[in-house]
Amino acid sequence: MNILAIGCHPDDLEIGCGGTLARYAKQGHTVIMCHIANGDMGHVEIMPEELNKIRTKEAEDAGKILGAKEVISLNVSDLYLNHYDDKIRQELTRVIRYTKPAFIISHSPDDYMQDHREAGAFAFDVSFGSSVTHYASSSEAYDGIVPIYYMDTLAGINFIPSLYVDISETIEIKLKALSCHESQIKWLKEHDHIDFLDFVKTCSKYRGLQSNCAFAEGFRQCLTWPRIRSTELPPFQSI
């Protein structure tokens, strides 16, 4: 089975669904991670061009730890995401057609910042557009409008999961992958006095308390036609 995770910045997928992706990879499924923005505005002292290179490398290293087959960047500058941008839509269309996912994981419409919400909107719109034969016709249409699962918001604010994945066996992999994003972890600790690894672990423990395990990640299914599969068990129940 192919799983496509579409995040905004290079560390967002590690935060929201890293443990789940690691579980799928450990079971032999094909995991593709795609971030739309390159994270180039995520620092005050490191300039965008240099930070872009740093964060791209960090994302590649993190993806290897999670077991992802590939980490794809659309290399859009931070705060320039607009889900009506047809150039980005066509690039993401090609990613979906290339990966042929069984389902997609992305950002919730209620996430805390514009870029995250736009990334989720891209995933929603483009997963439909990728099935349209005459759109972005340089690549062959993917015959299927697949389910989308929205990952948790930062700190779980305004997000009530409908699905939980037990990541007790992969929590350390998740944190190891997240620690690859040193430019962000170090900056948050020095500038904002936030121990972000502890922050993420605490959120995973909280979701675990809700779902009767040590650590968990929460998700909510996108309930729009025709993404609901009445003849299949939800994918997360099979791992």
The share of the chain scoring above pLDDT 70, in percent, equals 96
Tell whether the model's pLDDT for residue 239 goes beyond 90.
no
What would the mean pLDDT of 1-27 be, rounded to a whole number?
97
Q: Which domains does the chain have, with CATH numbers?
A: 2-224 (3.40.50.10320)
Tell whether the model's pLDDT for residue 232 goes beyond 70.
no
What would the mean pLDDT of 102-116 be, rounded to a whole number?
96
pLDDT at site 75: 97
Tell whether the model's pLDDT for residue 228 goes beyond 90.
no
What would the mean pLDDT of 155-160 be, rounded to a whole number?
95
Give the span between the Cα atoms of 150 and 148, in whole angstroms: 6
Backbone angles phi, psi at 216, to 5 degrees: -145, 165
What would the mean pLDDT of 106-126 be, rounded to a whole number?
96
Tell whether the model's pLDDT for residue 52 goes beyond 60.
yes
The chain-wide mean pLDDT, for the chain, equals 94
The closest alpha carbon to 239, from 36, 43, 31, 63, belongs to: 31
The closest alpha carbon to 200, from 238, 155, 167, belongs to: 155
What would the mean pLDDT of 184-211 be, rounded to a whole number?
94
- Name which of 17-31, 34-48, 54-68 the model is least confident about: 34-48
List Cβ neighbours of 125 (8 Å cut-off, separation of 6 or more). Answer: 83, 89
The share of the chain scoring above pLDDT 90, in percent, equals 87
pLDDT at site 196: 96
C-alpha pair distances (Å), 130 with each of 80, 136, 208, 211, 228? 22, 8, 35, 35, 17
Tell whether the model's pLDDT for residue 45 goes beyond 90.
no
Give start and end residues of each alpha helix (H) in the chain.
12-26, 48-66, 86-99, 114-129, 171-179, 182-191, 196-210
Give the span between the Cα atoms of 222 and 150, in whole angstroms: 7
143: confidence class by pLDDT, cuts 50, 70, 90: confident
